[in-house]
Structures are given as C-alpha cells and as structure tokens.
Chains A and B, each alone.
Chain A
Amino acid sequence: MKTYTYTEKKDTRSGFGAGLAELGRTNPNVVALCADLIGSLKMNEFIKENPERFFQVGIAEANMMGIAAGLTIGGKIPFTGTFANFSTGRVYDQIRQSIAYSGKNVKICASHAGLTLGEDGATHQILEDIGMMKMLPGMTVINPCDFNQTKAATIAIAEYEGPVYLRFGRPSVPIFTPADQKFEIGKAIKFTEGTDVTIVATGHLVWEALEASKVLHEAGISAEVINIHTIKPLDDAAILESVAKTGCVVSAEEHNILGGLGESVARLLATNSPAPQEFVGTNDTFGESGTPAQLMDKYGLSSTAIVEKVKKVIERK
C-alpha cells in the first residue's frame, strides 16, 4: 500500500496567501479585496507588492462582494478575502444576484472554514458553506487539502473564467501533496489504490482518510482514498469507477452532512449505481469552542471516526 508522510505542517490559508502573491507577479488583472482580515487571510505579500491592486473594504462584506462584481466589468479578476462564514451566509444574496446570476468572474476566497477554526466557537465555525455555494447555478466549489494544493488551486482559479468558491482553513496541517502538482479543477486525485472500500474526502479530512487507510490496512481492509478537492463540478467518472470496484463508499468532510460532499456523492450513486454509503461530517449541529483536535474528535471527524464508518459500510455490502 502506498503510504504518505510529511516533514512539515502549514496552514492552508498560507497556501492561499502564497498563491495570491504569485498571481500578483504573473497576472496583472488579478486584484484583491479584504474586509479587515488581511493578516488572517495571509494577504500581506500581495498587498506589499501590489498596493494599487488591493482594496481594503473595511468590515462590510456585502459591499465587498458587490465591488468585486463591478471590478470584473473592465477585465479585472477579483479575489475576495474574509472568513468562510462572512464569505457565504452573510452575503448569500449579494453572491447570488450580483455574482452568480450575473455570471461575474469573482473568486470568493474563504478562510477559517469548519470546526478547526477552534476557540472562537460556533459563531465563526461555518459548516453549511459548501451546501450554500454548491446550490448556486454556475458556482465552482473547491476545498483543497494542504498548503501546496491550496496554493496551486489559488493559481488555477485565476485561469478559469467564472465564479469560484475557494474554501480553506486556519490550523497547521501536514503537507503531503507535491509542490509541483498542477491543480486541475474538477479532477479528483487518487491517493491510494484499494479494493474493499472507497473513501472520498475533501479539505482537512483527506489527511485523516490517509491515516485511516493505514489503520485499515493493518486490519486487512484495502481502502481507496480519493481526494475530491472540487466538490462542484464533481468528478463523477472517478467516483463511479472506484465504487464499481469497491462496492461501497465513505464520504469525509469538515462540513454538515446535510448539503455537503457526501450528499453530492449519494446523488451520483443513486442515479447511476446505488451502493452503501456512510457519512463522516457534522450531523445537523453547530460547533463550539475548543482546540481543533478536540473538536474534530468530539464531532466525529477524526481518522478513528473514518475507520469506524468504513467497517460499518463494509458490513452493509
């Protein structure tokens, strides 16, 4: 079995910051906006190098989304930066009308997504954002898994014409994808080959899925771990091909199981080739204060939780 290790941990938001800085040097049309969270979004380097292409909007996210939509008229490629909560729920109608329905080329970049925001608690820990964004017609939804993938995704979405929701997080997590791996929107990445179960994972849960696959291997269970970095459009073919082989699937995400990646996978399977599925995610609940590790454990988002769901889904085959 192919195993993954890491030598360094970094936050995915720094991957966004690094990607944005590189775009600042390579693409003169890229502009950035922030609603008073420059440091949290790691936008300092871009701003230092391109002060004329940065717009500090203040604590006014609705206005920021509208300005971003307007900046596209005249050829700019705006990247908005704030927490995931304030990038989605707070401004849903602005995104819906001025960006998605209007077909504007805005990149909504959302940090501190999910429980791993930690101690700030449920007011800031959005677990519904993937659902809200994937329901918008024409919106691309991306949740990369580590520093390198987030950096690559940030660079890739500038080349894509259309609205994108890019979701990343605050905690330091292992870097386990290659720094030179090109990011292809909508193209799943198979991390391990397996025959007994397919684990489709997104964001921070990809590393947990890989950890789970090691434990499962020792227990004689062969797991195929697929990284779904793009939740919409979903890589239907990759999932169907894998599940055709393994006969069951576990979805894993740092998000409510209502409306997340798992539901997209369930719809895909139900309409093509139904197979038993188990869901790793939060279950219709708000989060709370705590360390990221404590929260991932308490809300069933750890590798241990994935192992349990795998055993359960295999029994249902």
Chain B
Amino acid sequence: MPNIKHLEDICTQVRRDILRQVHKVNSGHPGGSLGCTEFFVALYNEIMDRKDAFEMDGIGEDLFFLSNGHISPVFYSVLARAGYFPVEELNTFRLIDSRLQGHPTTHEGLPGVRIASGSLGQGMSVAIGAAQAKKLNNDDKIVYTLHGDGELQEGQNWEAIMYASAKKVDNLISTVDLNGQQIDGATDDVLPMGSIKAKFEAFGWTVLEIEEGNNLEAVLEGMAKAKAETGKGKPVCVLLKTIMGNGVDFMMHTHAWHGKAPNDEQLEIGLAQNPETLGDY
C-alpha cells in the first residue's frame, strides 16, 4: 500500500516548487502545473516502473512523455524530487544557460526529459513510436503521456489517436488533463469539443475517467485500473478531471493563472497554504 501521507507531503512540496520557480523569473505556467501535481506525484512515485539508475536509454522501464510542455514547472519539480537531477537546479528555471528551459527539451541534456515539447499536439505520436519500439524490443513496459484538453484542438492528435487503435498500441496510457481551461478562456467558449470520452471511444480506445483528479487516492486507483487495461489490444485513455491552480485558492477555477506568475505578496499567500514538507531547494 502506498504511503498516502508521504505522497501528500511530496505534493505540497511540489506546489511550493512550482510557485517559487515561476515567481523567481516572473514567467511560466503555474495554473496547469498545480492542477496536475497529484497526477505527476502518483505517476513518478507509485505508478511507473522506473529503473533506479536514471539511465535514459528508454529500455526496460516505463516511459513518460509530456505533450503540453508548458506545465514544465510541475514536471521539473517531480523529476528533481524523484532524483533525476539535483533539486537545487530548480533555481535555474528559465534562466540563461539553464537545462530547465521554459519548455522541456532534450537539447540541454536534462535527465528525465525524452522529447522536446511545447509546440502542442506532438507528444502522442512520439509516445506511440516509443511504444512500438518497445514491442519490437520485446520490452513489456508501458508508455504514459499527458495532454491538455485544449491541446486536443491540434489535428495531429487525431492522426495519432486513429493510428494507435488501428495498430493496437495497447502499451500506451494517454491521460488528458480535463481542466476545461485554455489561454483565451474556458474550452467550451474557445472551441467546444463535445464529448472527449465519446470521441476517444469512437476511435477505438478504452476510456477511463478519474472524477477527482486532485485527490491522490482517486488518481492512484484510477491509474492502477488504467494499467490493468493495457495489453488488451487497445490503447488506454484516462480523462483526468482537475482544477486548474489547485492548492492555491486564488488561482483555482480560472484560466487567469495559465501563464502568469504570482507577485511577492501572492507568493507568500500561496506558500502559506502549502507549508514546507521535504525542504525547499
């Protein structure tokens, strides 16, 4: 049984890391990062089967691809807290000569990042390639992805979604962060997408829903169910309902904090709502 208290402590620390990263450089994307904190912490600390030595050859372990690369603050924090690189390096987020670029990249050699992302809609195709390479290598591990809901407006996703089921890429679990927000407002106002569940099902995927995407136990249970659905001839989609800005009250339920950093005063309020657990970097 996972130690929920410990995982919750990691979540709280990750939220602090997110706030402090974007505050320091007055740029970055806190809203979506906060909303996906429980997902990332569950994935990297419980769900994924990862090698201990942090090798980056991609063989013999579960892999994760972040397609909506702008939520790099949560990705970097969770990678650092999992041991991929020193947590002190979070101090360099978005600074000149840093490995922690505004959007994740392999270009600077940051351990844990396997593809550049930021230009939206490309991650699922890459993950499918990695999943098919695993099948060729008789590697029975799983490939995970994360996508924004607004990101599904990019057409390449639907090429990939069609392909994954046609080719029975059943070692793939793609999670969509259903926070209902994008830069210009609510997804239903910008470009209503109808039922994403129905769309994935129509394209031949197994679809699971996690109603409380910011409830750690719900995420753990939902992702465990998703894992149990792999290897059955279909790719697996998880619709993760989250609250953008979760854990910092004034950032919640709005798209206003999609790409905006807190000021000094706002930072203090946010940090007070998330007391230090593992130790700040």
Contacts and interface: CB of A to CB of B under 8 A. Distances in A.
Contact of A65 (B105, B125, B137): B125
Nearest to B125: A66
B178 interface: no
Contacts of A65: 125
Contact of A70 (B106, B118, B131): B131
Contacts, number: 117
* Most A C-beta atoms less than 10 A away, residue of B63, B106, B122, B167: B122
Interface string A55-91: 1011010111111111111111010000000000000
B122 A73 contact: no
Nearest to B157: A63
Interface in B60-105: 63, 65, 105
Contacts of B128: 63, 66-67, 70
B244 interface: no
A58 B163 CA distance: 8
B159 to A, nearest CB: 4
Interface in B101-138: 105-107, 114-119, 122-134, 136-137
Given A60-B162, A60-B163, A75 B137 contact: yes
B127 A70 contact: yes
A97 B140 CA distance: 28
B156 A94 contact: yes
A94 B154 CA distance: 12
A102 interface: yes
Given A66-B160, A67-B128, A101-B116, A74 B133 contact: yes
Contacts of A68: 129
A102 B106 contact: yes
A241 B83 CA distance: 53
Contacts of B184: none
Contact of A62 (B65, B130, B159, B162): B159
A102 B105 contact: yes
Contacts of B8: none
B139 interface: yes
Nearest to B103: A97
Contacts of A64: 125
**Is chain A's binding surface mostly helix, strand, loop or mixed?**
helix
Contacts of B130: 70-71, 73-74
A180 interface: no
Nearest to B63: A73
| B interface bracket (residues with beta carbon within 8 Å of A) | 35 or more
Contacts of A93: 119, 122
Nearest to B129: A70
A299 B134 CA distance: 48
A53 B65 CA distance: 23
A253 to B, nearest CB: 30
A31 to B, nearest CB: 7
A144 to B, nearest CB: 27
Contact of B159 (A53, A60, A70, A71): A60
A63 B116 contact: no
B58 interface: yes
A98 B114 CA distance: 10
B3 to A, nearest CB: 31
B265 interface: no
A102 B125 contact: no
A97 B119 contact: yes
A8 interface: no
A96 B115 CA distance: 12
Given A66-B125, A66-B126, A67-B126, A76 B133 contact: yes
A98 B58 contact: no
A303 B122 CA distance: 44
B52 interface: no
Interface of A: 31, 52-53, 55, 57-58, 60, 62-76, 78, 93-94, 96-98, 101-104
- The 8 A-B pairs with the shortest beta carbon distances in the complex, nearest first, are A70-B129, A66-B125, A74-B133, A63-B159, A60-B159, A67-B129, A70-B126, A70-B130
16 contacts: A58-B159, A62-B155, A63-B125, A66-B123, A66-B126, A67-B128, A69-B115, A70-B127, A70-B131, A70-B133, A71-B132, A78-B129, A94-B125, A98-B126, A101-B106, A101-B116
